[in-house]
Structure 1
Amino acid sequence: MNIAKMIDHSLLRPELTTDDVRRGCEIAGSRQVASVCVRPSDVGIAKAELSGTGVLVGTVAGFPHGDTRTTIKVAETRELVEAGADEVDMVLHIGRLRSGDTAYVHDDIAAVVAAAQGRIVKVILENAYLTDDEKITGCRLAEQAGAHFVKTSTGFAPGGATLADIRLMRAAVSPPIKVKAAGGVRTLDTLLTLHEAGATRFGATATEAILDDHAARERGEHPTTAEVPAGGY
């Protein structure tokens, strides 16, 4: 199992300096993860730093609240694609989803998918603010709108990925649609548990610790690991 290629190394915290971003890209390149996920203004930096590594450059649109106008999300996505983004993680309009305005949510996602011009689009639901029925609806709207992934969280809400949510989201979409877990994925055990439940991509800042743990286990070493909480992460 190639754990590294399941990880999107997250570089989204607002206080990160350009040197922090470059160091994060160096980690991503050396560890051969799936992608980095950087702030929109850092796409150019990441593209240059990761040139020739095979690591994809991901970024975010409508982040972290999802409430910018669709036209702004579209313009943002187009500009990010022009800057070299390979993947776009967009936040759906949480308030409109909770209001039952499914047409707005669908069309908002579909417009970003079109603006991405074939790049991978992951739709962040921000599950901490949603009921189970709203999560299911959000997942189905994302699939109908042409998105490639549904994603649990931004990492900036009160809660992140939970085992129950991964199971719920996996069941809500058809097999071609993938599930990304983000928010609180800090250990290898957490990643493996969520992978078993159906997640295939993970947003993580603890990338080196996760991969070092995996390498140690591959060598037959057995470090002490924390028990995975039943309720979430």
Structure 2
Amino acid sequence: MDVKEILKHVDHTLLLQQATWEEIRQICDDAVKYGTASVCIPPSYVKQASEYVKGKMAVCTVIGFPNGYMTTKTKEFETKDAIANGASEIDMVINIGWLKDQKYDLIEEEIRTLKAACGEKILKVIIETCLLTDEEKIKMCEIVTKAGADYIKTSTGFSKAGATFEDIQLFTEHIGPNVKMKAAGGISSLDDAQKFLALGADRLGTSRIVKIVKNEEASGY
């Protein structure tokens, strides 16, 4: 797989708390130049970024990020606001406490609510795999499939660990045909990116791949 093909699957990401508009503008420029799938940025920059890229790049943002324990109503408002501001893709974080408490119906209903708010826009569901047992990951594959989300996503990149090959392999065995996979967090080389894609991931959440292509130090998400 060549580098251009890998880049087509990258959500070029900058979600650091201290991110400035100048830095966001730069990743928008890089995303357009290198042909990534989207830019993934904080909600407060969505309107400005959407106006800046003028339809040349999909704008993705995060909801309930990074902890996921906001109320469903809050996440729904965040989602509708982001879409009104120009977001075309939404990456939401589940309520991990609900999963631990086995409140599966609440999680499914929340995902359905946010998918309804998204309409035809893409909804990705972050389950934060590093905090879950394999049984919980499998349960979330089932819930995400039933709820009608577009993607299941491994990680926020803000917890103890990011994506692993084992988790993507586990997803492939338990998600439905309507669900794609996004690996995110800690993808630090082209070899890793290629392996995640070979295992079946459709998107890669990372800032490092574009940096590697630009011959810059590959630090960050």
Q: Does the pair score TM above 0.5?
A: yes
Aligned 8 A contact 2:39 2:60 in 1: yes
> Deviating runs (4+, > 4 A) in structure 1?
none
The aligned residue for residue 11 of structure 2 is 8
CA RMSD of aligned residues (A): 1.2
The aligned residue for residue 52 of structure 2 is 49
TM-score (norm 2): 0.93
TM-score (norm 1): 0.88
1:25 to 20, 28, 32: 28
Hey, what's the Cα distance between the residues in 1 that align with 2:212 and 2:180?
Answer: 21
Runs (5+) with no aligned partner, structure 1 = 214-233
The aligned residue for residue 182 of structure 2 is 180
Partner SS for 1:123: strand
How many percent identity over aligned positions? 40
The aligned residue for residue 208 of structure 2 is 206
Hey, what's the Cα distance between the residues in 1 that align with 2:123 and 2:46?
Answer: 16
Hey, what's the Cα distance between the residues in 1 that align with 2:136 and 2:178?
Answer: 21
Hey, what's the Cα distance between the residues in 1 that align with 2:13 and 2:134?
Answer: 26
Hey, what's the Cα distance between the residues in 1 that align with 2:7 and 2:198?
Answer: 16
The aligned residue for residue 219 of structure 2 is none
Matched, 1:35 2:38: yes
Deviations 1:106-149 (A, max 9, x none): 01111110111221000000011000010111121111111000
Q: Look at both structures and tell me which one has the larger radius of gyration over its CA atoms.
A: 1
Q: Aligned residues, how many?
A: 212
Q: Which residues in structure 2 correspond to 1:134-213 (within 5 Å)?
A: 134-211=136-213
Hey, what's the Cα distance between the residues in 2 that align with 1:50 and 1:140?
Answer: 36
Hey, what's the Cα distance between the residues in 2 that align with 1:52 and 1:63?
Answer: 25
